[in-house]
Structure 1
Amino acid sequence: MTDDSPRPPRRHRHRPIYAAAAVLLAAGAAIAVPRLADAATTLQSLAAAKGKTVGFALTSSYLSEPAYKNIADTEFNLVVAENAMKWDATEPSRNSFDYTAGDAVASYAASGGKQLYGHALVWHQQYPAWVDGITGGADLLAAMRNHISNVAGHYAGQVVAWDVVNEAFEDNGARRQSIFQQRIGDSYIEEAFKAARAADPAAKLCINDYSTDGINPKSTAIYNLVRDFKARGVPIDCVGFQAHLILGQVPSDLQANLQRFADLGVDVRITELDVRMTTPADASELATQRSDYQKVFTACANVTRCTGVTVWGITDRYSWVPDVFQGYGAALMWDENYARKPAYDGAAAGLGGTVTTPTPGPTTPGPAGGCAVTYAVNQWNAGFTANVTVRNTGSSPISGWSLRWDYAAGQTVTQSWSSSVTQSGATVTATNAAWNGSIPVGGSTSFGFNGTHTGSNPAPVAFALNGAACVNG
């Protein structure tokens, strides 16, 4: 099933933990940048081969992070503004428009040859306070038309499609009692689409909603609206299915649902995909998430009029999920340190690819003495930073690694880079990131992490790489 909770604004996050990351970057302990451009196959190449696009929601300030920008540049051929094109961002005061943030997203899309998807012209959230002050239905209708005319007109020729109206229905299929529904009435959706067509005749016009991924009262209400619009000649070209999913609950009738809308003569798209789970994530959850991503991408690939899939962000570092659903997260294809997760493999497989991300566990174990580990620490008060170098001293290359050690004084790992680190009691396991899993004979790789201690912070005395003991130093 999909989530049925009320939807708070999907604004980007500011998480205090990353202030520490900024200090480390300044000190030279930078997060490694995955060399994704070296990969023979990317999501965008797989999607393009099927005549589809794979997109992501962008907050342009994140492009200053090399790892983020590298993934954005390489893996996607469509961009949607996470917040920059919404009403509160584009028209903060009545008839006074600000396109600065939206134009930054549009500029990035154009510079990389990516399609630009518009989100969202009319929504019951993230509109400016002055809209609430409009009491008359006729005045609100005029303000809505003016907003659509200006914003869609500004991006005419740049945007391939717009979410014209977002989240207009309740889960039981009734109209959501938004300010637009209450003060304008049932006609507001139709009027919004007509205004959008007048402003940009070339853009495809979509209605977008959540918890509509399967056949249910909500998706059926939208189906009936689309059928009515098509019968009466009201402009509508596409339907967006947000797909903010819960782990293991991809609707079994997702593809059938997409197909029934396509049969009405409209395009369909997965517009805001993420799959959340309880955190911290374990290997079993990540495997299920991989399957979920594959199911969603497969469903779209199998429906001719499905234009593609957009994920609601790149990295768990900036996902909206933990701020809204307590205890949940890890919803995207890259983790907080930009390590590619098994979900990426699922998406690639759904598009017909065979890309494989290394997962925890031995893949090329070496004999005892086939590895050497150097563990260096810089500590202060109750915290420390550790930098670990693993050397392959054996006779065979290592492809995929998992390094394990035990702490003797209750130390706790809080944040890692260039690896994925988990801890169970005293035992810590560090697994390679997507870009540093291969260690040639005589070669080495390094990773690091932050941690806390309670006054005593002795170095580990033993390390095991893929289950085989390593030499210290």
Structure 2
Amino acid sequence: MIKRRTLIVSSLGAAGAGVAIANHYLNRHQAPEQPQKRGIARFAVTGDTPLRERAADKGLIYGAAAQHQVLTTNVEFAQRFAQECAMLVPANELKWQALRPTPERFDFSRSDWMANFAQRHNMLLRGHTLVWHRALPKWFEETVDRTNAAKVLTEHINTVVQHYAGNIHSWDVVNEAIVPNKTKDGLRQTPWLRLLGVDYIEMAFRTAAAADPQALLVYNDNNLEYDNAKTAVKRTQVLKLLERLKSRGVPVHALGIQSHIGASPQGFNAKKLRDFLKEVASLDLKILITEMDVLEKNLLEANNRDAIIAGVYQDYLSLVLDEPAVNTVITWGLSDRYTWLTNFAPRQDGAPIRPLPLDAQLERKLAWNAIASAFDQAPPRQVK
């Protein structure tokens, strides 16, 4: 049996990090009876069954984020997306900036097309995001103040959620409200906090639940994975937020963990991460991996980087899928051709980045194998 190990925290400098990580991922997890196997052999999977079916076999959902412009202009990509994914997440089309050209008008044309695409291909639709401190329209700052903020927020949530009521799996109701800071609750200083105070989060969830009682309502956040002091503080503050919401009867149903994971020597502490997941689950909450990809910005050594990236996927997913409350895995994109990281976190050497399951030519690569393997080995869930 292959024994799982956590990533190792290292103090290596950036120049040597790539070699060290490559050795780590290429040489571990070897079965004693097959010591000759090295490198890509450990990512071997049986058959060519798509990720959506491998996940479904274990009671899991696999999906990815995509953009309207790409799905409508690249037929081959749209076909591959429908083949691999059981859930579609509009990457930008349901954010305020995209939906609200003016304070009085909503534009659902692009998101409606994506909803219809999901329905045609038997995919679930997921909403991202109702409340966030970013991606607000230009008119927001000039129009919204303390006198009308509650009305603007609740009207937006009511209009958007009711528009898709009965046709959406889940909503990221509030996104990234916590940031480790010197305040007791860790609430990020957002426009919503400034205008409405701490109750804006509860207001958002209650409004969304009234607009669509069937949708799964999610609190979504980042930087919850690694073993360091800042992450430890954030985990505690996120747990306190969820506990407070639950104690007040607020309809929050799940935690979304974004999981933009770095291909770097920093590591996961398996016990601490599992304990955190169990604490979330003990609140009667589901857990979704909502935006996974692997950042290689600081990975200077290009050799074997596909194996390094695949190793991150396999390590992380193997760990989190041990928790029964984790029922969904979403990658933030499907193909390297369309990853947001090209602009937001490019490699230092200028080489094209490869953070997703399919390469730029829409072919499966080692990251796909790693995800497939993690699904194949995951404990089965009870489908409800």
TM-score bin, normalised by smaller chain: 0.7 to 0.9
Q: Alignment partner for residue 267 of structure 1, among 264, 286, 289?
A: 286
Q: Secondary structure at the match of 2:343?
A: helix
Task: Provide the residue aligned with 1:197 in structure 2.
Answer: 209
- Distance in 2, matches of 1:135 and 1:89, equals 17
- Where structure 1 has 5 or more consecutive residues not aligned to the other structure, the ranges are 2-38, 355-473
Task: Provide the residue aligned with 2:325 in structure 1.
Answer: 305
Q: Alignment partner for residue 277 of structure 1, among 268, 289, 296?
A: 296
Q: Secondary structure at the match of 2:158?
A: helix
Q: Alignment partner for residue 374 of structure 2, among 350, 362, 368?
A: 350
Q: Is the 8 A contact 2:295 2:345 kept in 1?
A: no
Task: Provide the residue aligned with 1:244 in structure 2.
Answer: 260
Question: Given the alignment of the two structures, is residue 82 of structure 1 paired with residue 91 of structure 2, yes or no?
Answer: yes
- Distance in 1, matches of 2:346 and 2:326, equals 32
- Distance in 2, matches of 1:95 and 1:263, equals 42
Task: Provide the residue aligned with 1:30 in structure 2.
Answer: none
Give RMSD over aligned pairs.
2.0
Task: Provide the residue aligned with 1:232 in structure 2.
Answer: 248
- Distance in 1, matches of 2:178 and 2:377, equals 36
Q: Which has the higher strand share?
A: 1
Question: Given the alignment of the two structures, is residue 103 of structure 1 paired with residue 122 of structure 2, yes or no?
Answer: no
Moved more, 252-261 or 182-191: 252-261
Deviation for aligned residue 1:256: 3.3
Question: Given the alignment of the two structures, is residue 174 of structure 1 paired with residue 183 of structure 2, yes or no?
Answer: no
- Distance in 1, matches of 2:180 and 2:355, equals 23
Deviation for aligned residue 1:327: 2.2
Task: Provide the residue aligned with 1:93 in structure 2.
Answer: 102
- Distance in 2, matches of 1:88 and 1:194, equals 23
Q: Is the 8 A contact 1:250 1:292 kept in 2?
A: no
Moved more, 43-52 or 328-337: 328-337
Q: Is the 8 A contact 2:61 2:86 kept in 1?
A: yes
Alignment of 1:397-436 (within 5 A): none
TM superposition score normalised by structure 1: 0.64
Deviation for aligned residue 1:250: 5.3
- Distance in 2, matches of 1:283 and 1:54, equals 29
Identical aligned pairs, as a percentage? 31
**Deviant stretches of 4+, over 6 Å:** none
- Distance in 2, matches of 1:342 and 1:177, equals 40
Deviation for aligned residue 1:108: 1.0
TM superposition score normalised by structure 2: 0.78
Moved more, 276-285 or 101-110: 276-285
Q: Is the 8 A contact 1:46 1:353 kept in 2?
A: no
Deviation for aligned residue 1:353: 6.0
Structure scoring higher RCO (CA < 8 A, sep ≥ 6) equals: 2
Deviations along 1:208-239, one digit per CA (max 9) or x if unpaired, are 11112246211221111111111110110011
Letter in 2 for 1:346: A
Task: Provide the residue aligned with 1:336 in structure 2.
Answer: 360
Letter in 2 for 1:310: I
Of the two, which has the highest radius of gyration? 1
Letter in 1 for 2:285: V
Q: Is the 8 A contact 1:171 1:211 kept in 2?
A: no
- Distance in 2, matches of 1:251 and 1:144, equals 37
Deviation for aligned residue 1:281: 7.2
Q: 1:280 to 1:217 in 2, by over 3 A?
A: closer
Letter in 2 for 1:224: K
- Where structure 2 has 5 or more consecutive residues not aligned to the other structure, the ranges are 1-6, 8-46, 379-384
Deviation for aligned residue 1:257: 2.4
Q: Is the 8 A contact 2:66 2:88 kept in 1?
A: yes
Deviations along 1:324-370, one digit per CA (max 9) or x if unpaired, are 1242632112222223221111111111269xxxxxxxxxxxxxxxx
Task: Provide the residue aligned with 1:49 in structure 2.
Answer: 57
Q: Is the 8 A contact 1:57 1:82 kept in 2?
A: yes
Deviation for aligned residue 1:146: 0.4
Task: Provide the residue aligned with 1:439 in structure 2.
Answer: none
Letter in 2 for 1:53: I
Q: Secondary structure at the match of 2:169?
A: strand
- Distance in 1, matches of 2:165 and 2:144, equals 30
- Distance in 1, matches of 2:359 and 2:144, equals 45
Q: Is the 8 A contact 2:286 2:327 kept in 1?
A: yes
- Distance in 1, matches of 2:57 and 2:324, equals 13
Q: Secondary structure at the match of 1:352?
A: helix
- Distance in 1, matches of 2:191 and 2:100, equals 17
Q: Is the 8 A contact 2:144 2:152 kept in 1?
A: no
Q: Secondary structure at the match of 1:351?
A: helix
Say how many residue pairs are matched.
317
Q: Is the 8 A contact 1:213 1:251 kept in 2?
A: yes
Q: Alignment partner for residue 311 of structure 2, among 282, 291, 295?
A: 291
Question: Given the alignment of the two structures, is residue 186 of structure 1 paired with residue 203 of structure 2, yes or no?
Answer: no
Moved more, 262-271 or 244-253: 244-253
Q: Which has the higher helix share?
A: 2
Deviation for aligned residue 1:293: 0.6
Q: 1:145 to 1:284 in 2, by over 3 A?
A: same
Q: Alignment partner for residue 222 of structure 2, among 192, 206, 210?
A: 210
Q: 1:337 to 1:194 in 2, by over 3 A?
A: same
Letter in 1 for 2:203: E
